[in-house]
Structure 1
Amino acid sequence: MKRFIQEIAEDILQKHGAHLPDVTVIFPNRRAGLFLRESLRELVDKPTWSPNIISFQDFIAQQVPTQVADKLFLTHQLFDVYNKIMKTKEGFDRFYYWGQMLLKDFDDVDKYLVNIENLYTNLSRQKQLDLTFDFLMPEQKEIIQRFWQGFDQTKSEQKERFEFVWDRLFKVYTEFQNRLKKQNLAYEGMQYRYVAENLDRLAFKKSSGPVIFAGFNALNLAEEKVISFFLERKNAEMIWDLDGYYLEDDNQEAGTFLREYRNKNIFAPTFPQDVPHFLKHNPKEIEVVGVPQYVGQAKVVGQRLGELLAEDPHLDLRKIAVVLADEALLFPLLHSLPNGIEAINVTMGFPLAYAPINSLIEHILDLQRTIRHDPDGNILYSFKPVLAILRHPLVLPFDAEEIEKLAETIESDNKVFLVQSDLIEHPLISTIFQEARDKLVTYLSIILLVLHGGKESTEIEIEYIHHFYQILNRYEELLSDEDKKTDLSSFSRLFKQLISTERLPFSGEPLNGLQIMGVLETRNLDFDHVFVLSMNENFFPSQGGKHSFIPYNLRKAYGLPNFDQQDAIYAYLFYRLLQRASSIEFYYNTEGNDMGGEEMSRFLQQLIHESGFEIDQRVLSSFAELEERREIVIEKDEEVLESLKRYLLNNGRSYRRLSPSALSTYLDCRLRFYYRYVADLYEKDGIDEDVDARSLGNVLHYAMEVLYDDYIKERNSGITIRKNDFKSLRLRLERAAVKAFRQQFSVAEDRIFYFEGKNIIAKEIIKDFMSSILKLDENYAPFDLIGVEKKYELDLPVHLNNAEAVVGLRGTIDRLDKKGNNVRLIDYKTGQDKHNFDEIALLFDRKKKNKVAFQTMYYALLYQKEKTPEEVMVPAVFNKDALFLGEDVLLAHKKLGEVNNAELFLSEYTEHLKELLAELFDPDVPFDQTDEEQKCKFCAYNNICARG
């Protein structure tokens, strides 16, 4: 089937073949002109000059003395005018969004030739409507009147502010235009209005010969007036791109504008006598496919293109178009294309907001936003933006090994805040990690220059970086010195808005290869095979660009573009895609979010239920049948047993030793023990920026160690703690707590720890615990402090697998003190641990075990070989009940009472411990999962087990 562009080329050659250079062809956009030149080249058989082929926008620009200024410049000029007239001091960052809306409104009212003074007149009084708007139709007056009457019924502060602004917008518009004219600048609508209002006075450059307007659908009033002038005065031609399916059916919104023009005297003769019916009379294969997730659509289309190439290796890719209603799918699509597609033409701008450099700049601005200073003036960088920057794909390749090593060190040392000396010496790292203060533009520009020179950057990444650099330079050119000193949050807000409206234009050969385009770029172009992605509501038709200061009622009354018109435009584009194509595949996302989003486009619904076409509908999904939960059991084969041997003494030494927490883990879940202590699957610790319940105990242990250890060393008068020592000890609480926090967060001694957020509260909690411990100790004093956080080891002979063996045990006792012959083995606990237990045997029962009692008796076993014969081991637990509720600190047997001598229970405890170890090393007892699934909830390995 002939394409629309081919028909135009044949028509031009037939009518004007002898005078092609004199012909001017005007399209709605530039893309169609490229294809027309190609079609003419294929049809002519001898060298000739090409017609003047131009877009309507470029045609208008040729006739005016002004140039269109860039959007940032226009918005800044409007900002100056607005603040001057409104007498506000609003910052440019806050005005930018509203300025864009105002610019769009001004552009609309100019293109639609609206009398802006009348539009912005205060219409709150009926007589003004009657006196000022006699030219309006009665229904238009009614719409305007209804709006302002409803507006005045409830005058709120916001409405009064709106009315105040509204009354002055005409003055803003006038002053803004005057300012631009003095500089020979304009926005697009200004140029359109100038031409439309000066048709009789303009010479119309490069259009002295035949003029052809081709492929137009929805005309603004300025376009309509210009085209009407040429049709009436210049004997111009009009070629419509249409189909009888929607033109002749009043219920089809796609033909709304075309029917309107056909009923106007000036346009009626330009419509063909025999309206083509491509949609109904030409065979088509139409497929509607639902795909889970947006990226899934790109994957499926890539697969389909691969299938087409496999069927026909010489397939002409120029006849295939992939249309993206959602621009964000561009890169997923490019990464999904099969290898056979070498030539690609992307006819759309890619939003810079999706570019990798944008996320890096956001991290860098976040780095600046979270900078702190310690009392010495050192700059402190928060770990979150630091790690995000170091591992960013644009930064990491500069020195992957060293940068990743630095990131791992930050994580392993739990460095919440970093100083300059913590970082590596590298040009890019040094450029990024400094305080920008009020030189943000210069700071970011230098970073972009360093990135631009990076050897690892791809061509497209360099293009992103260059585009960002241009935006920053333009920003710096426009703003005054005072504006440039804007605060970080203001700059971030403005820069985010600037980037959100920018597109990166792709360069390529438009007439070669697979065509990838946005919806608006499809105008006047025809393809044999069309794929359309994101055929969901909110994407097709697009819901963007509808914000305006002009309310819907007034837009409708003045003929300005509104929701209805935009939907009609998208309906036309939708059916245009179908007109001449032989195969069309529509894809939509079947999975939305909490706000919906999975609904297919209304145009697809219309096609399915109204067209009568034979449509193949499919929904792609993968059905996962849930298997019965598989129990994980690790048998003790030779490899597992060999790994276990590291806990046995060999030639007088063991490679590793078992701790009480390891054996407690085994009692909780054998499989968890296997993962952690046999297979060495360590859970990777994240950085804790706050002391939480998990790390609170670690900080308390270290704080108490520091408190007593430093005190004894500095006092230098023995290890006896007396009652008169506690006054001095309490004065040291703050210092010990801070030192413990410093150790927890890897803050060097020469730096002051910076407390903020939850850590301020956590420090006070730690000090409360320490104060309560000192209170108990003061009541118990005098006593000798034997040691804090002391490590002990024990070689325990055990009968394993019909042979004698020695198992290596180890443990760290929180504190040991001695009074008389009593040696207390103290365990600090910040949780809900209870120190009462039923009997020794139950300490080894998986369901009834008492972890605290198990652990303190374990410590007694370790210390037993160290004690003198006269010493009595007394296990004690300093838990919350003992510290804050006055309970006794001693371990207590529920039947026998307080355990004043742990040695009385050690024989039974040791036998049960040996039985536990025998089971651990027994080849016939596998590592299996616990039956108590509530223990799986917070287990580090619950994803492996599919529990929790």
Structure 2
Amino acid sequence: MKTFLQEIAEQLVKDHGNKLGDVTVIFPNRRAGLFFREYIKQQLTGPVWSPRILSFQDFIAQQSPSQIADKLFLVYRLFEVYAQVMKTTEGFDRFYYWGQMLLKDFDDLDKYLVNAENLYSNLSRQKQLDLTFDFLLPEQKEVIQRFWQGFDQSKSAQKERFEFVWDRLFKVYTQFQRSLKNDGLAYEGMQYRFVAENLDKIPFKDITGPVIFAGFNALTLTEEKIISWFITNKQARIIWDLDEYYLSDSHQEAGNFLREYRAKQVFTSSFGKEYPSMIRSGDKEVNIVGVPQHVGQAKVVGQMLGQLLREKPDLDLRKIAVVLADETLLFPVLHSLPDEVTAINVTMGFPLAYAPVNSLIEHILDLQRTIRKDPEEHILFNFKPALAIFRHPLIMPHNPTGMQRLIEDIERNNKVFLTTSDLIDEQIIRLIFQQAADDLIRYLSDILLALHQLSASEEVSVEVEYIHHYYQILNRYAALLSAVDQKTDLKSFSQLFKQLVRTERLPFTGEPLRGLQIMGVLETRNLDFEHVFVLSMNEDFFPSQGGKHSFIPYNLRKAYGLPNYDQQDAIYAYLFYRLLQRPKHIELFYNTEGNDLGGEEMSRYLQQLIHESGLPIKTHVLSNYAEVDDKIDIVIKKDALVMQSLHRYVKNDTPATKRLSPSALSTYLDCSLKFYLRYVADLYEKDDMDEDVDARSLGNVLHYAMEVLYEDYINEKGQATIDKDDVKKLRKRIEVAAVKAFRKQFAVSDDRKFYFEGKNIIAKEIVKDFIKSILDLDEQYAPFDFVGAEKKYELDLPIPAPGTQSSEPKTQNSELRTENSELRTENSELRTQNSELRTQNSELIIGLRGTIDRLDKKDGRVRLIDYKTGQDKHLFENMEELFDRKKKNKAAFQTFYYALLYQYEKQPDEVMIPAVFNKDTLFMGEDVLLQHRGTGKVENAALYLNKYTTLLKELLSEIFNPQVPFGQTDDESKCRFCAYAGICDRS
């Protein structure tokens, strides 16, 4: 089937022959002209002057005495006029966003020849309402009239301000236009209006012969007036690109504009008596394909293109179009193209806001915003934007090894603030990590130039285009600031520059007449292909939801004939059905998976096509069949590999490479699968860096603060005895100890100032309150000897090797154990030999470790103190409860564990007092001692250690028993905040 442009080319050559040079052909856009010129060449057999081929925009620009100004300049000039008229001091960065909306409204007013004074006048005038809303029914007018009468009778300050703004906007409009005219400048709508209102005065010197307007659909009033004048006065022609399917059916919104023009006398003859019927032609193949996720569509299109080109290796790529309703799919499509696609042409603009260079600049601006200085004026950089910069795809590849080492060092040492000495010696890093001060534009320019050189040297052409375009925007902005002699601070610059980038699109350069055509919806006008792939045929994207922001409300736009929602939907309907006119193969894709707000609904145009067209449409939904099974428990059997990893904690022949902590054993009691994942499979939860102390790290800060407080004081005093006077002196050192603890938590050296900001201000006060309460208890307990803080202890605990126990009855075993025990008592050498033999044959020696928060001594009694910032309880039912998976007392379990380790390294007959300093103790007056429900306060842990050791050995025997697998906990409430909940499907 011939394309629309081919038909025009054939007709022109037939009608004008060797006089083609006298003809002017005007299209809605430039792209159609490029293809049309190629079709003209194909029709010619000899040399001839080419017709004059223009876009309508270029045609108008040639007839106007003014020049189109840069968009940024226009918005700034509008800002200057607005500030003068409104007498406001609002900054340009705040004005820019809605300044664009105002400029767009002015452009619409001119293109549709609207009387701006009427539009912006006071809406309460009843006579104006009668004129303005003449399209309304009488009863509708009456309702509006009553409303505005009430408005006039009781005006509030808001209503008066509303009227003031509308009145003043007309003044802004007129002064803005006057300002531009004085400089010989204009925006597009001004040029259109000038030509439309001066048609009889403009000489049109370059128009010497026939004029053809081709492929138009939705005309602005200026376009309609100009084309009508040419048809009436210059014997011009207009050629419509249409189909009988939507033109003859009044229910099809795609034909709304064309039916309107057909009814006008000046256009009637251009429609002819018969209309082409291509959509319903019998040789058309239409497939509608639902694909999960937006990127999935790109992958499927790539596969289909590969299959098509393998089946038809001689197929001309220029006859294939991939149309993207969602422009963000451009790069997923480019990366999904098969090897058979040897050339492509991208006919669309890609939003610069989605380019990698934009995210990098945003991180850099965040870095500048968070800069601090220490007392010696050293610059400190916040870790969050710094890590984002190091990991950025434009930065990381230049030195991946160095960047990764730097990242690991920051995360391992929790460096919240970095100095230049912490960084690697790399040019781009040196350029970024400095203070921009007042020369922000020069700072960013240097970075962009360096990035441009790096990308160019590595032949990353797309990135070079991004960076170059970004650099151009920065220069335009710098030139504007220089012209108006205005400086901007970091905050206002960031706000404005983000808005500038959001409105910019990267134009791709290429050869439009070669290769696979990838384009946006608007770029498809007047172009035809044999194979069409349209992506994102969802209601959110087709019709487009963009471009609807305006200060002029819908009813006024409707009244004055300005474009509105209805017209935009009709335009997109026309573009959709026009795409279906000539192709033989049409693949329409939509996303079947939305988000929490929806988004998976297929476009209304697909629904219309399915239910109204009568075409043999095939519909497919791509998905993986997944049968929903009941959740099954995860069980990890202790095979040889698991046991090998588990035996890192066993010390029989060689020292254990690892030791079990009380936290590890507590984890096993909570969930043995969690224990396996963390302590056997080594799937450790990564610690996230944070510049604020959270509930988890608050305990670390408190522990270190107490360690520093006491040890620094004792080192200065020279002895470990603490009396009541010492406690009073310690109170004066609380602030220093707290600051030191925060320094350690965030790896801030002593020569740098630590900034207490945000939550850390509160966290420091909480830590100080804990320390004060601890010192209150110490003052009551004094005098005592401070033994140490954060003391580390180890224990090699033998347990029966699983599977080696005798099969004799328990009573017999018990008697035998008693006899052996007596025998061991009588003969030390035999005991040693038996121990060695037992170790070799029937025992595992498990390596245990623990860190006791604090130890102090008084009257021969040692207190083993555990600091807790949570809700830990002192009371426990019995020793078995400490090992109960459902109701274990974690604090009691841990302090008895410490007592066992301490007893192993110290005197076994020493009185050990396990104490827990928790919130209830420190702030509610509870006793620090653990409390056994049956025997009362635990004043000597040694009395409980035999039973505790027996239960601990049983627990360890279970852990190292190859017959007992690791499995999930039955208490799913423990999974709520578990890092491994996703693995277990319990999140």
TM-score, normalized by length of structure 1? 0.95
Offset of residue 141 of structure 1: 11
5 Å matches for 1:475-490? Answer: 475-480=477-482, 484-490=486-492
1:538–1:662 Cα change, 3 Å: closer
Offset of residue 271 of structure 1: 2.0
| 1:544 matched residue in structure 2 | 546
5 Å matches for 1:162-311? Answer: 162-311=162-311
5 Å matches for 1:326-725? Answer: 326-454=326-454, 455-456=457-458, 458-480=460-482, 484-650=486-652, 653-716=655-718, 718-725=719-726
| 2:791 matched residue in structure 1 | 790
Q: Any stretches of 5+ residues in structure 1 without a counterpart?
A: none
1 CA distance for matches of 2:99 and 2:199? 31
1:850 to 875, 889, 895: 889
Offset of residue 456 of structure 1: 4.4
Offset of residue 239 of structure 1: 1.4
Q: Check conservation: 1:438, 1:484, Cα contact below 8 A.
A: no
Q: Check conservation: 1:441, 1:472, Cα contact below 8 A.
A: yes
Offset of residue 156 of structure 1: 4.2
Q: Deviation per CA, 1:610-638: give whole Å up to 9, x if none.
A: 22223222333333223333333333333
The amino acid across from 1:823 in the alignment is V
1 CA distance for matches of 2:123 and 2:716? 85
1:145–1:175 Cα change, 3 Å: farther
1:142–1:213 Cα change, 3 Å: farther
2 CA distance for matches of 1:28 and 1:663? 75
Greater mean deviation of Cα atoms: 705-714 or 423-432? 423-432
1 CA distance for matches of 2:156 and 2:458? 58
Greater mean deviation of Cα atoms: 145-154 or 77-86? 145-154
1:641–1:184 Cα change, 3 Å: same
5 Å matches for 1:830-841? Answer: 830-841=869-880
| 2:974 matched residue in structure 1 | 935
The amino acid across from 1:795 in the alignment is D
Offset of residue 739 of structure 1: 0.9
1:828–1:138 Cα change, 3 Å: closer
Q: Any stretches of 5+ residues in structure 2 without a counterpart?
A: 805-841
Q: Check conservation: 2:135, 2:559, Cα contact below 8 A.
A: no
Say whether residues 1:828 and 2:867 are aligned partners. Answer: yes
Root-mean-square deviation over aligned CA pairs: 2.4
The amino acid across from 1:903 in the alignment is A
Say whether residues 1:945 and 2:984 are aligned partners. Answer: yes
1 CA distance for matches of 2:121 and 2:847? 92
Matched length? 944
| 1:879 matched residue in structure 2 | 918
Offset of residue 58 of structure 1: 0.9
Q: Deviation per CA, 1:338-390: give whole Å up to 9, x if none.
A: 22112111111111111111111121222222333445544332222111111
The amino acid across from 2:948 in the alignment is Y
The amino acid across from 1:227 in the alignment is I
| 2:777 matched residue in structure 1 | 776
Say whether residues 1:911 and 2:950 are aligned partners. Answer: yes
1 CA distance for matches of 2:778 and 2:484? 63
Greater mean deviation of Cα atoms: 660-669 or 695-704? 660-669
2 CA distance for matches of 1:637 and 1:290? 45
Say whether residues 1:751 and 2:758 are aligned partners. Answer: no
Greater mean deviation of Cα atoms: 869-878 or 324-333? 869-878
1:251–1:632 Cα change, 3 Å: closer
Offset of residue 73 of structure 1: 0.9
| 2:114 matched residue in structure 1 | 114
| 1:105 matched residue in structure 2 | 105
Offset of residue 152 of structure 1: 6.1
Q: Determine helix, strand or coil for the equivalent of 1:266.
A: helix
| 1:816 matched residue in structure 2 | 855
Q: Check conservation: 2:636, 2:967, Cα contact below 8 A.
A: yes
2 CA distance for matches of 1:265 and 1:86? 46
1 CA distance for matches of 2:311 and 2:240? 36
| 2:963 matched residue in structure 1 | 924
1:140–1:119 Cα change, 3 Å: farther
Q: Determine helix, strand or coil for the equivalent of 1:628.
A: coil
The amino acid across from 1:338 in the alignment is P
2 CA distance for matches of 1:827 and 1:777? 14
1 CA distance for matches of 2:910 and 2:342? 85
Offset of residue 306 of structure 1: 2.2
Q: Deviation per CA, 1:760-792: give whole Å up to 9, x if none.
A: 111111111111111111111111111111112
Offset of residue 169 of structure 1: 2.8
Greater mean deviation of Cα atoms: 930-939 or 536-545? 930-939
2 CA distance for matches of 1:156 and 1:419? 57
Offset of residue 403 of structure 1: 1.3
Greater mean deviation of Cα atoms: 119-128 or 84-93? 119-128
The amino acid across from 1:915 in the alignment is E
The amino acid across from 2:875 in the alignment is N
Q: Determine helix, strand or coil for the equivalent of 2:94.
A: helix
TM-score, normalized by length of structure 2? 0.91
The amino acid across from 1:179 in the alignment is S
1 CA distance for matches of 2:139 and 2:239? 37
1:796–1:536 Cα change, 3 Å: closer
The amino acid across from 2:102 in the alignment is L
Q: Determine helix, strand or coil for the equivalent of 2:872.
A: coil
Greater mean deviation of Cα atoms: 689-698 or 703-712? 689-698
| 1:739 matched residue in structure 2 | 740
